[in-house]
Structure 1
Amino acid sequence: MSNIKLSSNGLPSFTCVPNIFIDKYMTNANGEYIKIYLYLLRFMEKEDQAFSIQHLADIFEYTEKDVLRALSYWEKQNLIGLEFDSADNLTNILLKNPCQADSCDLGNPQKNFKGDSVKEEAGSGETLNQKDAYTLEQVEQFQDDEAVQEILFITENYLGRTLNTTDIRTILYWYDGLKFSTELIEYLIETCISNGHTSLRYMEKIALSWTEKGITTVSEARAAHAMHSQCVYGVMNAFGISGRNLIANETAFAEKWAKEYAFSMDIIKEACRRTISATGKASFEYADTILTNWHKNHVHNLEDVVKLDTARKGKTSGKTREASENAQSSRFHNFPQRTYNYDKLEQQLLNTTS
């Protein structure tokens, strides 16, 4: 991505955070978005120095889409202006005076607690997360629900800390945006923490994956979790992997074999065994080659694997035998043939007998 020129329309050269930003904007914004805006203020000390979205992402360990979402949010608040070239590449960020922006139409996203979701378009074209549109009033209303109070209490006990506004907005998004029941949210939190994942961002990824899969009840979530655990731990056991969890790519392979190919663990373990035998290591790519071939040949059980092996051996044996016969035939015809003078041989034979 190309470099972006950063300029201002009158901000001082030192890092200054106007009170109106703290009083009016910071209280309703996502913490990650605030970091981006404050860094832009800090970077103004180096006026007209170019930087990139990747530069911002690397500093805060965000994705580039996270940075674009933050910039889009502040543009909606009328605190910055974004300029793009003809190819839709971001070329300029203009930091506006918050006092002047406050006198304009701020375009602050609002929504009723049970109303339609608010969606904002990021620079990448991706929809912004709805949770960032919730106001403090909506968060307070959310906390008045007795069932929600129980969830927040349980979450704080699990995490061992007090939830901040951003945390509560995240849980509100699960409840109001994703339409999760309090029971499903509680199961989500319990499951993640019991597996060593205490980050609400990680929990949100799981929540979004459940939504994509159409999971709406605790029983459905429990069944999906059980299938995932059985598949992952089965593969780890077959490959002899211990002391670490599978990385994302490895987990994707395991889920592909179990869900897309619908193979039983017996078949998957057999492929893992053959992989170790052939390569001497836990190669997910090699195992995937085996299982993909079995899938194409409509293998459904270990008996089908045996039949496929037998058929392959028969073809191999036939080709080997044919090759051997061809080789023998070639050796016979390639042997240098002797030439004889039959008249001379006959005369020699007559002289010998006489």
Structure 2
Amino acid sequence: MSEPGLNARLGDDMSPPELSTTPSEFQVKARMEGKRLDAYLASRYTDYSRSVIQKLIDAQAVLINGQPTKASYRVRLNDEVRIWLPELGDDAPKPEDIPLEVIYEDEALTVVNKPPNMVVHPAKGNWSGTLVNALQFHYDTLSNVAGENRPGIVHRLDRDTTGLLIVAKDDLAHRKLSGYFEQRTIHKEYLALVYGVPTRDSDYVERHIGFHPTVREKMAIRLPEDGGKEATTFYEVLERFQGYAFVRCKPATGRTHQIRVHLTHVGHPILADKAYSGRERITLADLAGAQAADGEQVLIARQALHAHRLRFPHPLTQEDIDLTAPLPQDMSMTLEALRTHRRQG
């Protein structure tokens, strides 16, 4: 550390472990401008809780343009950020023999079909059983751009969202792919089952998204002055049922929980999305009522959201790559039950 006594100011709950002796340094990009400093750093360093980030700010382990500031500071374009992070208490992810469904693979990248109930990378409370643990077992080389706890990880899916996820095998491919995401040149399509029946065949939601004001695990529609960042989701109705719909979503931006928040905002939360719909499962009885021979059969017990399609230029050859992943079994079962018991007359 360049400043003596910094660890002491953090208090007993931050020591051990000690802070890193080498700070991380970077500039704020345009798309992050206006975000609260603590929220911005918590979204960038997801291995650390927001409370830990706030302690670092209070202890002057975060400098903006060479000066300490408050957690409520709104970051600006090209602000110079310097942060000393505490060492993580766990070692680098351990390889685990977890099966992977590989959709595409070459010398630069792999695309996998992520199953439900799998966290993408290790973090507090989830140090094993993650996609990264599986990748460490199956691949000898992965990119290091995102840090040792996220080898190969270019983007993420929520724990219970299934579907296509790109993994970079080297740093050059990783940087090119990250650039595609930032420039919004990667085409993404999701399939979802939702409550209610949209009146329009297609529409879009354009509402800023930020951290929920009271529930740390959720996101919400937020004004820019409250930390909300621009977000746009296009959707179209594929099938209508009595009280439900099957929709395709095309997010133009990539905010956390974006599709889940936007669909909830327009009155069509995703089925079995506990955080946003209040229900954590759908049974056959929910859809079939008295017609169900086995009413307690659980059709789906996680949000009915699937990353179905990715189209992007290859990071090395620029060849167009267009991939799809079929609906997982739980969503297929739910869709078939809707077709059987909830078809519109």
Structure 2-normalised TM-score?
0.27
Q: Give the structure, 1 or 2, with the largest relative contact order (CA under 8 Å, sep 6 or more).
A: 2
Query: When you count strand as a share of all residues, which structure comes out higher?
Result: 2
Query: When you count helix as a share of all residues, which structure comes out higher?
Result: 1
